């Protein structure tokens, strides 16, 4: 298979980062629910400026089918976006799910009529406005299917992304990698989003102890799910990973804080709910995680009418 025509569904920061990086080597269509300027600019990590014209299509007027569809919506918008798109796609078109957390991925992997890859990335990007996205820092992307097959497809896509300046790698254990990112996000994002602080402030009282409490809840849930930290084992391994990320992203406003500050829905369901479902399945207590989920659900109910998840 040759992956030359890419649809990018969900033109937020990540979607437009991928579109602009791919634009010189592939045919790229940004699929959006509202009109978006075709001329898009990426501010690169070295403060360079990369301006390209990309095709922008509305979901009601799509061009000829692509070789691959990248779904880059937020987690809570993924299923609705897929449902709107599915009838326009011939069977067999590969789908790449770029969502955080571990919520819609297994359902979409079942539902999509073609191969499905999941991606997890540490690329950092944020939206400036409808024409500009900042690529804040280089990262790394892992690609693979939840069942461990589709390795040739994941390898081909990793080559395409890497040659476009987004280093990527095909892996057999994407489920583990998605859960690891979810664990890091669960230890950091609800706390900083609710407190309105940058990641580095978690090192100070009273937040340090709150991170430790969450780590104490997360470690047994992850162990029961068979998810090991990348380096070391058990609570110590998770502690090392989470404090490393806090150190490395000390100056950042986490994605969930940015969502709260912009009045957007947060990804609390995709990040916290899978942990609480797993905790219940294994008979484990997780009162700190549950309190964050309840508070973020209450906020969501207050800021958006029910059912307006995207």
Q: Which helix (H) or strand (E) holds 53?
A: strand 49-53
Residue 62 CB, shortest distance to ligand KPL, in Å, is 30
Residue 230 CB, shortest distance to ligand KPL, in Å, is 14
Whose CA is closest to 243, among 198, 275, 203? 203
Residue 15 CB, shortest distance to ligand KPL, in Å, is 16
Verify whether residue 181 is a known catalytic residue: yes
Rounded (5°) CA angle 108-30-262:
80
249 forms part of the interface with ligand KPL (CB under 6 A): yes
188 forms part of the interface with ligand KPL (CB under 6 A): yes
Positions 198 through 227 that interact with ligand KPL (CB under 6 A)? 199
Nearer to ligand KPL, 66 or 190 (CB): 190
Q: Quote the CA–CA distance of 10 and 98 in Å, as a whole number.
A: 10
Q: Quote the CA–CA distance of 253 and 91 in Å, as a whole number.
A: 40
Which of the ranges 91-99, 112-120, 222-230, 249-257 carries the binding residues for ligand KPL, by CB under 6 A? Answer: 249-257
Q: Quote the CA–CA distance of 174 and 293 in Å, as a whole number.
A: 25
Phi and psi torsions of 245, nearest 5°: -65, -40
Q: Quote the CA–CA distance of 128 and 118 in Å, as a whole number.
A: 26
Kind of pairing between the strands at 124-127 and 116-121: unpaired
255 forms part of the interface with ligand KPL (CB under 6 A): yes
The number of CA neighbours under 13 Å toward the Cβ of 80 is 12
Nearer to ligand KPL, 73 or 189 (CB): 189
Nearer to ligand KPL, 72 or 249 (CB): 249
Residues 70, 74, 181, 292: which is the catalytic one?
Answer: 181
Length of the chain measured in residues = 310
120 forms part of the interface with ligand KPL (CB under 6 A): no
Q: Applying CB under 6 A, which of residues 23, 252, 265, 268 lies at the interface with ligand KPL?
A: 252
Residues that bind ligand KPL (CB under 6 A): 184-185, 188-189, 199, 245, 249, 252, 254-255
């Amino acid at each position: 298979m040759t992956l030359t025509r890419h649809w990018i569904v969900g033109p937020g920061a990540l979607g437009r980062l991928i579109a602009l990086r791919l634009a010189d080597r592939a045919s790229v269509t940004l699929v959006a629910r509202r009109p978006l300027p075709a001329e898009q600019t990426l501010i690169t990590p070295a403060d360079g400026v990369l301006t390209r014209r990309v095709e922008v299509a509305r979901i009601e007027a799509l061009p000829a089918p692509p070789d691959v569809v990248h779904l880059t919506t937020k987690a809570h918008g993924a299923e609705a976006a897929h449902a709107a798109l599915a009838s326009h796609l011939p069977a067999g078109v590969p789908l790449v799910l770029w969502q955080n957390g571990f919520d819609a991925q297994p359902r979409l992997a079942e539902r999509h009529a073609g191969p499905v890859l999941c991606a997890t990335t540490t690329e950092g990007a944020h939206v400036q406005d409808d024409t500009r996205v900042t690529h804040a820092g280089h990262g790394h992307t892992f690609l693979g299917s939840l069942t461990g097959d589709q390795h040739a497809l994941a390898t081909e896509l990793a080559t395409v992304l890497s040659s476009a300046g987004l280093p990527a790698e095909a892996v057999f254990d994407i489920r583990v990698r998605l859960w690891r990112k979810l664990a890091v996000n669960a230890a950091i994002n609800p706390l900083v989003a609710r407190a309105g602080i940058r990641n580095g402030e978690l090192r100070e009282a009273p937040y340090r102890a709150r991170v430790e409490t969450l780590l104490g809840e997360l470690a047994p849930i992850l162990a029961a799910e068979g998810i090991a930290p990348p380096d070391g084992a058990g609570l110590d391994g998770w502690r090392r990973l989470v404090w490393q990320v806090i150190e490395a992203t000390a100056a950042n406003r986490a994605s969930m804080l940015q969502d709260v500050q912009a009045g957007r829905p947060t990804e609390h369901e995709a990040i916290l709910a899978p942990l609480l479902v797993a905790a219940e399945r294994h008979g484990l207590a997780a009162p700190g995680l549950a309190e964050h989920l309840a508070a973020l659900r209450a906020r969501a109910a207050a800021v958006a009418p029910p059912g307006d998840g995207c």
